[in-house]
């Protein structure tokens, strides 16, 4: 028996196959059609594992409303809470930064969400902010850890993605070092995230999930500003999909 969890984010679609344990996972770009991305993820997972059907599909993420094959639709907040708890059951605070939003989530000792906070209608401090500013430097988002290894942050003042982009361009024009600018962008994301997190309790272990958790520099910077160890997991980006798969699995039991 299998359950399948799909987390259709604004940038990446993650899917996890579950049979009581994580069997397999895939990640693909969401592209312009969240519905197609969700479908592709299912097909790829099934094909890779030589199975014809799953017993329950739970969909989460911003694209969750776009699909028509979900047995259940759950918000990413509940799913990240569930997923993070399975990755580490000592976790009580979750920082999730995805393509277009950032969240702080508190869970109790049973993994149930008890409080959360989410960014407002603005992309400040999200993956989009990182993507736009890094692209304006002609660099790739996956390289930021490598590029900033010895960097000293330049101060980026604007929280607004659009204004920050032009600020980055003028810093370049003034001769600032590219690596230092990128470090400045990372600082800005961490500062923005921590100010969001101040509205919830930061207790016990803190797990960083979502796409930005792939960056050790962002993780380190969050630890520094928060003055509390922020952990990640090799499955951090899949936390939402794992949570969705588990919710499906629990319904099958």
Partner 1 sequence: MAKHYEMWEKLGLDLEKHDQFLNPVPELFTEIFIKQDNRPEGMDYYDFVVGDIHGVRVKELVAEKDKGNPVISSFCAFVPDELIIAAGGASIGLCAGAQFPIPRAELELPNDICPLIKSSVGFKLERVCPYFEVSDFVVGETTCDGKKKAWEFLNEHISTYVMELPNTKSASGHQLWQSEIERFKLEIEERSGRKITTEKLAEAIKLVNKKRSVLERLYNTRKANPAPISGRDTLLITQLAFFDDPARFIEKTEKLCEELEARIANKQGVVNSEAPRILIAGTPMPLPSWKLHSIIESNGGVVVCEETCTGTRYFESKVAENGQNLAEQLVNLSERAMNINCACFTPNEARVDDILRLANEYNVDGVIYYNLQFCQTYNMEYNKVADALKKADIPVTQIESDFSENDSGQLNTRIQAFLEML
Give the residues lining the site for partner 1 (CB under 8 A): 62, 74-78, 101, 112-116, 118, 120-121
> b or e along 15-48 (b: 16 or more beta carbons within 10 Å of the residue's beta carbon)?
bbbbbeebbebbbeebeeebebbbbbbbeebbee
With residues binned 3-state (H G I as helix, E B as strand, rest as coil), the percentages for the chain, rounded to 5, are: 45, 20, 35
Longest Cα–Cα distance of the chain, Å, equals 62
Q: Which is nearer to partner 1, 63 or 184 (CB)?
A: 63
Structure tokens at 226: 């928060």
Residue 39 phi/psi, 5-degree rounding, is -60, -50
* Contact status, residue 34 vs residue 69, Cβ threshold 8 Å: no
Q: Of 134 and 244, which CB lies nearer to partner 1 in the complex structure?
A: 244
CA atoms within 13 A on the CB side of 222: 30
Tokens standing for 56? 């329950």
Strand order in the sheet with 205-209: 113-118, 102-107, 91-97, 205-209, 230-231
Give the containing element (helix H, strand E) for 81.
helix 76-87
Please give the DSSP secondary-structure letter assigned to residue 109: T
Q: How far is the CB of 121 from partner 1 (least distance, A)?
A: 5
Q: Which is nearer to partner 1, 7 or 76 (CB)?
A: 76
Using the minimum distance from each CB to partner 1, give the nearer residue, 91 or 186: 91
Joined tokens for residue 90:
């000592």
Cβ proximity to partner 1, 2 vs 249, nearer residue: 249
In the bound state with partner 1, the residue whose beta carbon lies nearer, of 115 and 251, is: 115
Q: Write down the least CB distance from residue 193 to partner 1, Å.
A: 17
Which residue's structure tokens are 């101040």? Answer: 198
For residue 119, the minimal CB distance to partner 1 (Å) is 9
How near is the Cβ of 32 to partner 1 at its closest, in Å?
17
By C-beta, is 72 or 228 nearer to partner 1? 72
């Amino acid at each position: 028996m299998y359950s399948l969890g799909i987390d259709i984010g604004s940038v990446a679609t993650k899917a996890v196959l579950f049979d009581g344990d994580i069997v397999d996972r895939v990640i693909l770009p969401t592209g312009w059609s969240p519905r197609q991305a969700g479908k592709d993820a299912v097909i790829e997972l099934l094909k890779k594992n030589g199975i014809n059907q799953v017993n329950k599909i739970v969909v989460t993420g911003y694209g969750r409303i776009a699909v028509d094959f979900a047995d259940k639709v759950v918000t990413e907040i509940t799913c990240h809470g569930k997923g993070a708890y399975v990755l580490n059951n000592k976790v009580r605070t979750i920082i999730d930064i995805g393509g277009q939003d950032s969240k702080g989530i508190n869970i109790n000792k049973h993994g149930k969400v008890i409080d959360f906070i989410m960014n407002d209608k603005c992309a400040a401090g999200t993956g989009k902010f990182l993507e736009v500013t890094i692209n304006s430097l002609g660099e790739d988002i996956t390289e930021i850890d490598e590029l900033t290894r010895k960097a000293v942050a330049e101060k980026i003042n604007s929280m607004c993605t659009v204004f920050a982009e032009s600020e980055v361009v003028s810093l370049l024009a003034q001769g600032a070092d590219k690596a230092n600018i990128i470090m400045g962008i990372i600082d800005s994301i961490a500062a923005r995230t921590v100010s969001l997190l101040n509205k919830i309790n930061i207790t016990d272990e803190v797990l960083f999930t979502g796409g930005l958790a792939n960056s050790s520099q962002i993780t380190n910077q969050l630890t520094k500003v928060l003055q509390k160890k922020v952990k990640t997991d090799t499955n951090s980006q899949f936390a939402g999909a794992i949570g969705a798969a588990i919710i499906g699995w629990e319904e099958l039991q």
